[in-house]
Amino acid sequence: MSLKSLSKELQDSIDKIIEKEKYKKYDIAVKKFETHGNNFLGGLYEIDITGETTEGKKNTNVFVKQQNPMEYLKLLPLNDLYLNEVFIYNDLSKVFTTLQDEANVPQDERFIIAKAYEETNNNQLILENLSKKGFRTYGKLEDISIKYAQLSIQQMAKFHALSFDGDAAEVIPIDYQFINYGCPVMDFLLFIFTSTDREFRKKHLNDLKELYFETLSSFLKYFNMDVEAVYPRKEFEKVYTEWLDFGLMMTLFYSYVLFAPDTGIDLGKVPVSELPICPDKKYDVFYRGLIDDFVEWGHL
């Protein structure tokens, strides 16, 4: 597909990026991602710019998430979700960078945010294409590895640690649409409940919970903060236990979309009441495993 097939606003944004990168001659290739049900809140594109600058040959590859009109999807405040990510990439990322610079956090220990271009706004997110650095996303039906889980938990703990600012192979989080001011444990529970099966939890849940708290504690030390002063281990364990039930409810709530098979239906053009409820067969085992866990833990 060509750049002209995209919105005028996005075309203008790409033109600005080309100008800032000082291209004299260039070619543009546009590819639309088919997510097979893994994304429904926007169109995903890869835009590859190849050409020459005054300094020689150059390649710029960007990832674009563009807000699509969602005529029937009134359940979610789509514009607000995009504004969440705009805030993260355009504003909060700069604060996080400054905080980590001032604390002299080593580069390999930092919380990492993907580079966003200034042209990012509530209609379009324009980011560096991390797939060109070897990163990839897991499909919603794909089993995650323990290494992926560990790296994700560590990044999550660092993100939470940066939220305790007083008065003031790696994983890179890229989707912040549902970010909110709330309980950190909720993020941990949603990740575990939506990404792992019962066998995985039996083997690794306690170790991952320990890894989360250890990472939170060690990362806070860079900012001269004691985890026992801002989020004591006793309080963490108490909140974890209290929020298990809510974590299960939210997992079931999100599962309507998260675990739906790829039906090819455009969710923006079909009322929610008319969407077929037909989760993938894999999730019969998934749901039963969650319920069995809660029975074993004494919560059901």
Whether the pLDDT of residue 242 is over 90: the answer is yes
Closest CA to 213 of 234, 244, 242, 199: 234
| pLDDT on residue 168 | 42
Mean pLDDT, to the nearest integer, of 36-42? Answer: 62
pLDDT: is 195 or 236 the higher one?
236
Question: Would you kindly state where each structural domain of the chain is located, as residue ranges?
Answer: 26-296
Q: What is the pLDDT of residues 291-300, one digit of tens each?
A: 999 999 998 8
pLDDT band at 169 (very low <50, low <70, confident <90, very high): very low
Give 157's contacts (C-beta < 8 A, 6+ positions apart).
Answer: 211, 212, 213, 215, 216, 219
Query: Do 280 and 259 contact (CB within 8 A), yes or no?
Result: yes
pLDDT band at 37 (very low <50, low <70, confident <90, very high): low
Whether the pLDDT of residue 167 is over 80: the answer is no
| pLDDT on residue 150 | 94
Query: Do 174 and 114 contact (CB within 8 A), yes or no?
Result: yes
pLDDT, mean over the chain: 84
Distances (CA, A) of 202 to 151, 156, 188, 206, 297: 19, 21, 16, 8, 11
| pLDDT on residue 175 | 61
Whether the pLDDT of residue 135 is over 80: the answer is yes
Report the distance separating Cα 164 and Cα 230, nearest Å: 7
